Structure 1
Amino acid sequence: MTTLDHMMAHLRNYFMHGNIEDPMAEARILVGGIMGLTRTDFITKAEDHIPLEHEIAIHDAAGRRVRGEPVYRILGKRGFYGLELKISDETLDPRPDTEVLVDLVLDLLEGRRNESLDILDLGIGTGAVCLVLLSELPNARGTGTDLAQGALDTAAGNAALNGLASRFGTVRSNWFADLSGRYDVIVSNPPYIRSDVIPTLDREVREHDPMLALDGGTDGLDAYRAIAKGAARFLKPAGLIAVETGFDQKDSVRNIFEQAGFDAVAAAKDYAGNDRAQAFKIKN
């Protein structure tokens, strides 16, 4: 049996030679996820021996990481805005930048947080955006759509995991095709990468993220056109629509929505200072 401290030193060296960008941080995420450790535990339990079953699991997971599998996919879960979310083969691994979309929506809903709002999340994935909104808006109800049944199942499971199942439901739909009713808020983190860029993405993304959630068509804007074209019929009069975008798509996406009868009302940058989210309302 090996100690936690010895295991961390071994993994740091193994990941360094495996060209992992931040070897110590990834070792901490991997070991912490498998063993259920906090950051403090890595100090206070440094000399504790690791149980054999955890040692075996860590070595297996470390090999997968060096072969290119993302650390959170190995763990099968990730924290997002205070929620724990399970990840599946048919969902994206929710990135921290997407929290910017959540913040933008919550800022625009300031003063309405206790209302009985109806929220629609197009391309639900893990449920990250919608479920965080439900956790922050105690009287809201959410609906998530996706083409991938596996994503719908994952989102429903995450709703149950976080005590939100009674206010969340799913519909298998190609954007608005199988939906009815109207919503106070429509959100989406749609596929927005140009088709010709997909082969150049990092190995972790192109080999492990679902193509359905990545490929935005020839110019990366297909999803925005579909959403903008259909959204007005599903928004309540004072409704809000907010989308995540690629770092260089702000003007293009704004133009698509404006031509479809919307006014831009807000935008937000991600933690690296890149344009990342926009919100719109129907023109008066």
Structure 2
Amino acid sequence: MSAPTAAMAMAAAAARLRAAGVPDPARDARILLAHAASVDAARVTLIAPEEIAPEIAERFEHLVALRAVRVPVSQLVGARAFYGRDFKISRDVLDPRPESETLIETALAEPFTRMLDLGTGSGCLLVTLLAERPDATGMAVDLSEAACLQASANAVLHGVQARAEILQSDWFEHVEGRFDLIVSNPPYLAAEEMLTVAPELALHEPRMALTDEFDGLSVYRIIAAQAQGYLTPKGRVMVEIGWQQGDAVRQIFENAGWGRVTLATDLDGRARVICADRPA
């Protein structure tokens, strides 16, 4: 009996992933087969009619088994695309999300030369902003040492390490200096929301990057209370928010005495970023 073709293996994997409740099983099967075969995902159709080699089949089976228990694809292939660049990913950092690109677009709409990224994780915000602004420098902090190492690796990968300083710090604890721009994608899920999130998040991503174990707003209170002391006179803060948190987070910044506080929305019109200027 001849070995199954790549197309047959993909179809069987997609059916298995569908049965496991994976949201987009055919796409994931294609990406995982490409990774197992060391080809670009766009070229999988070229090998589809061919018999799948035993060593590739074995690697593919292993990857599909892990995906079936909801390990994120990005962790299985070790990378995730964000704003046109691939970032190295591990289970120590939050997977970069497309909604975070709204923060990037908003930050790039105005000039900055010195930036700070609070809770950097993979470093996707810091690295992307420095890569897009070759004259800028930046600092990033994270409480997780593993996250700092991952962010540093991504800074090297994208050639911005000479302009980036990455420190282990509990928010502003070890931060010094002033910045034109402070950005953050903080843990904004309330503790009770963690009971209903997808298994990929609940089981395989760092909990401390997802929830403050409280109401999902505590880090915004920290940033609103302290960030003015780290900004230049015309500096600004931009924080990613959950799509239903716009009014609550805006109120936190207004109550803390910030100047103009505005909302930026994603392509679906959902509030995604709070922008706050230092008071005049």
Give the TM-score taking structure 2 as reference length: 0.93
Query: Could you tell me how far apart the structure 1 residues matched to 2:32 and 2:90 are?
Result: 17
The answer on 1:150 being equivalent to 2:146 is: yes
Cα displacement (A) at 1:64: 0.6
Q: Gaps spanning 5+ residues in structure 1: where?
A: none
Mapped to 2, the partners of 1:253 and 1:217 lie a distance apart of: 17
In 2: Cα distance, 1:207 partner to 1:39 partner: 26
* Correspondence for 1:259: 255
Number of aligned residues: 278
Residue 172 in 1 paired to residue 171 in 2? no
Task: State the 1:250 CA deviation.
Answer: 0.6
**1:83-137 C-alpha deviation (Å, 9 max, x unpaired):** 1111122210111111111111112x1xx3xx6x111000000001111101110
Q: After superposition, where does 1:189-200 map in structure 2 within 5 Å?
A: 189-200=185-196
Give the equivalent residue in structure 1 for 2:128.
Answer: 132
Secondary structure at 2:204 match in 1:
coil
Task: Please tell me the residue identity of whatever aligns with 2:66.
Answer: R
Partner of 1:89: 91
Match status 1:231 vs 2:227: yes
1:208 aligns with 2:197: no
CA 1:234/1:18 → structure 2, altered by over 3 Å: closer, same or farther? Answer: same
Secondary structure of the residue aligned to 1:263 is coil
Partner of 2:17: 15
Query: Structure 1: how far apart are the matches of 2:5 and 2:28?
Result: 18
Which residue number corresponds to residue 122 of structure 1?
118
Contact 2:22 2:70 in 1 (8 A): no
Q: What amino acid is aligned across from residue 82 of structure 2 in structure 1? A: F
Q: Deviations over 1:141-167 (max 9, x none)?
A: 121101000000000001111111111
- Whichever residue aligns with residue 148 of structure 1, its letter is S
Aligned counterparts of 1:169 and 1:36: Cα–Cα separation in 2: 33
Q: TM-score, length-normalised on structure 1?
A: 0.92
Give the share of equivalent positions with the same residue, in percent: 36
Which consecutive unaligned segments of at least 5 residues does structure 2 have?
A: none
SS at match of 1:207: helix
Change in Cα spacing, 1:33 to 1:148, as seen in structure 2 (3 Å) is: same
Q: Which residue of 1 aligns with 2:100?
A: 98
Task: Note closer, same or farther for the CA distance 1:35–1:237 as it changes in structure 2 (3 Å cut).
Answer: farther
Q: Superposition RMSD on alpha carbons, in Å?
A: 1.7
1:145 is paired with a residue of what secondary structure?
A: strand
Match of 2:46 in 1: 44
State the Cα deviation string for residues 219-274 of structure 1 (Å, max 9, x = none). Answer: 21100001111101100111121000011111111111112221345422234432
- Quote the offset at 1:39 in angstroms: 4.6
For residues 2 and 264 of structure 1, do their structure 2 counterparts lie closer, same or farther at Cα, with a shift above 3 Å needed? farther
